Amino acid sequence: MDRGFAYGDGVFRTLRVQRGVPACWALHYKKLVEDCNVLRIVCPSADLLLADIERLFAPGEDAIAKIIISRGEGERGYAVPVLAQPTRAVIKAPSPQYPEANFNEGVRLHLCNLRLSYQPQFAGIKHLNRLENVMARMEWTDNTITDGLLLDEQGRAIECTMSNIFVRFGKDLVTPDLSLCGVAGITRGRILEAVPQLGLSVKVTDLPLDKLMQADEIVTCNSLYGAWQVIALNRQNWQPQSLAKQLRQILQE
């Protein structure tokens, strides 16, 4: 009867745990609270979640944590229980073993046929209903393709199935506006703050696909791998360059 299971009524975060300590914890927890607030779910305290992580992960362990917060149990039907008690789950998974080529050479993307629908009220948050991402990920089976680029109903680039994107045009770094749809990851936010260190200006704006294809460089990012350069998309190729490596170095610092 949990509403997270029945309706996707909840939010989640996925993060690295390094040497038993959750990486970028303050940012992840802040985003968890913000996302819970959008759905009007009471977020468990940071101390409670940190205690869960401490119980689950051994000191010195490197692995992945997924934190799920649902509204809790309720009766059948969409009406929200008056005294809903949030359910929390912390899941441990092995750290993914990404190919070295993803870091050294770059990655190939699939251009997804699925289009992201607009829902401004939920734009930016990582809620439990990820059916768009699931259906988009079913579009390819080629294991040389790492991720899929998702467009909105107007053909504008928004994100990838498991990551955010940045696009460089000369000295300008552009990331899509997520005010209508998409997930605003914390790594995206960290890069937005760090861009001046690289001598670049940053813009958050609409990014039509035809403009994206004219980019000097395209980079994907998330909390698990940092940043990767895109070297192939929609039958177009880019030569390996240095931005993704520079961003990874900044993120590690």
Domain boundaries, the chain: 3-93, 100-252
CATH 3.40.50.410 is right for the domain spanning 3-93: no
Judge whether 3-93 and 100-252 match in fold: no
In contact, 247 and 227? CB cutoff 8 Å = yes
CATH 3.20.10.10 is right for the domain spanning 100-252: yes
φ/ψ of 39, rounded to 5, equals -90, 0
Q: pLDDT tens per residue, the chain (253 residues)?
A: 999 999 999 999 999 999 999 999 999 999 999 999 999 999 999 999 999 999 999 999 999 999 999 999 988 888 888 888 999 999 999 999 999 999 999 999 999 999 999 999 999 999 999 999 999 999 999 999 999 999 999 999 999 999 999 999 999 999 999 999 999 999 999 999 998 889 999 999 999 999 999 999 999 999 999 999 999 999 999 999 999 999 999 998 8
- Supply the pTM of this predicted model: 0.92
d(CA 156, CA 244): 22
d(CA 211, CA 154): 13
